[in-house]
Amino acid sequence: MKVRDVVLQDELAQVVDARTWTFPINLVDPVTEIKVWMYAQNHATGPNAAGPIPYVIDEVAVIDGSEVIASLNGPEAVALYAFDHARMPMHWEDQAGGAEQFWCVPITFGRHLWDPSYVFDPRRFRNPQIRISFNLAAVAPVGANGYASGSARISVWAKVIEDGATPRGYLMAKELKEFASLAAGQDVTYLPTDYNIRKILVRAYKAGGRMDQAITRLKLSQDEDRWIPWDLEASDFLYLMRDWFSEVGLDLGKVASDAATLEHYGGARAYVGAVAGQTDEIVGLGPALTNTVTAYLITHAGAAVTAGKLRLNVRTRTPFDCYCYPFGDQDDPASWLDVSGMGNLRLLLTQGATGYTEQIVVQQVHPY
C-alpha cells in the first residue's frame, strides 16, 4: 500500500470573520481522511472568552452538488473522531491576548486511517467539494476579549491511498437534527434506515451544564418497540461508555482570576488537572461535576491572582458533551446495525432541563 499526505490548501487567509467557503477536491485517488485546520488569533486585549475554535465552526461538509456526503459542526466532528480513533485531533488553545490558536477538525471515511476498503473515492462523484462555514463571533463579538478581526486562516489536508485500496464504500456521518432542550417529555427522532448504522452520537450542551441533566434517559426502538437495543438512564449510559471507549485528552491554555469558572470541553465526569503558568502562582481546582471547573489561583503569599495563566489537562470519555453508542465490533461491518427490513427506527430522548442545545448525528456505511 502506498499512502501519501497532500496539502490541498495551506493557511488560506479568510479575510472576513464569517463565511461559507467551498473548495474543490481535485484528487483522483481514494481519500481516507480530510483534515481541516483552522487558525485564529486572539485580540490583543485578552483573554479570549469566545470559546475554542470548534465552537465557531458551524459546518465542515463534503458535498457533490446537492448530495451531502458528510456534514458535522466543529464539536461533533472532533468528538466523532475521538470516538472513532481513541484520541483527540491536534489542537492548541491559548486564551492570552494576542496569542494564536488552532484546531484540526477531521472528517474520516474509514474504520482507521489506512482502511483500504472504506474510503472516499473521488472518481465516483462528479464535482466533490469541501464546504466550511464559520463565524468568529459565534460565541462572543470579534474584538476585545474575543478573536481578532480578519485573523482566520484555513488549511486542508488529505490522506490519500495511492496504491492498494479496494473501495467497498465509505463511512458517512451527518447531523440529523438540532433542537432546544425541554424541561420534561420526550423528543422522538426517526433515524434513517437506508444504510446500515455504525454509531449514533447525541450532544447535549450548555456552558456549565450536565449532559445527564439535559437528557435523563436514552432509548432506541425498532418498529414500535418490537426490538429495543437499549433503554437506559443517562447515568447508566455514561457508565457503559467507560467500557466502550478509551479516555482521550485535551491540553488547554487558560487565563483566569481566582475563583473563575472555566470550560474544559470534557462533558460529564471528566478528570481535570491544572498546572500553573506563572512562577508566583498556586493553582487548585474544584470538582468537575459539569463541563466547567472552578479554578483557584493565589500567590505564594496567599493573595488572589488576577488574570493568571494556567493549563488544564483533561481526560474524558464524553468529549464536547457527547453520548455515543457503537454497534458491534467496530472493525467488522457485518456486526454493525443492519437496518434492512426495518419499518422504522426511533431515538427517544427523555428531557430534563431547558437551556441546552441538543444534536443528533448518525454514522452510516454507504456502499459503492
Cβ proximity of 74 and 84 under 8 Å: no
Residue 333 has pLDDT above 90, yes or no: yes
- What pLDDT was estimated at residue 279? 86
- What pLDDT was estimated at residue 159? 97
State the cell numbers at 178.
438540532
Residues in CB range of 95: below 8 A, 6 or more apart: 42, 46, 47, 48, 49, 253, 254, 255
Could you check whether the bond before residue 75 is cis, i.e. omega within 30 degrees of 0? no
> 288 phi and psi, to 5 degrees?
-95, 70
Cβ proximity of 35 and 111 under 8 Å: no
Tens-digit pLDDT profile for residues 5-37: 999 999 999 989 999 999 999 999 999 999 999
> 56 phi and psi, to 5 degrees?
-95, 0
Q: How do 357-367 and 197-205 pair as beta strands?
A: antiparallel
Tens-digit pLDDT profile for residues 205-236: 999 999 999 999 999 999 999 999 999 999 99
Of 23-37, 135-149, 173-187, 276-290, least confident by mean pLDDT is: 276-290
Residue 278 has pLDDT above 90, yes or no: no
95/51 Cα distance (integer angstroms): 9
Written as one letter, the residue type at 305 is V
264/290 Cα distance (integer angstroms): 9
Which of 38, 53, 42 has the alpha carbon at shortest distance from 144? 42
Which of 113, 133, 111, 144 has the alpha carbon at shortest distance from 34? 113
- What pLDDT was estimated at residue 40? 98
DSSP 127-193: SEEEEEEEETTSSS-SSTTSBPTT--EEEEEEEEEEES----EEEEEEEEEEEE--SSSEEEEEPP-
- 279 or 124, higher pLDDT: 124
41/18 Cα distance (integer angstroms): 14
Tens-digit pLDDT profile for residues 121-172: 999 999 999 999 999 999 999 999 999 999 999 999 999 999 999 999 999 9
Which of 31, 6, 346 has the alpha carbon at shortest distance from 191? 346
**Exposed/middle/buried for 9, CB within 10 Å: 0-12, 13-18, 19+?**
middle
155/35 Cα distance (integer angstroms): 8
119/347 Cα distance (integer angstroms): 28
Is the model's pTM score more than 0.85?
yes
- Name the percent of the chain lying above pLDDT 90: 97
Domains along the chain with CATH numbers: 2-167 (2.70.9.10), 170-246+319-367 (2.60.120.730), 248-316 (no CATH)
> 44 phi and psi, to 5 degrees?
-60, -30
Cβ proximity of 131 and 22 under 8 Å: yes
> 76 phi and psi, to 5 degrees?
-65, -45
State the cell numbers at 204.
447535549
237: helix, strand or coil: helix
- What pLDDT was estimated at residue 30? 97
Cβ proximity of 305 and 250 under 8 Å: no
- What pLDDT was estimated at residue 178? 98
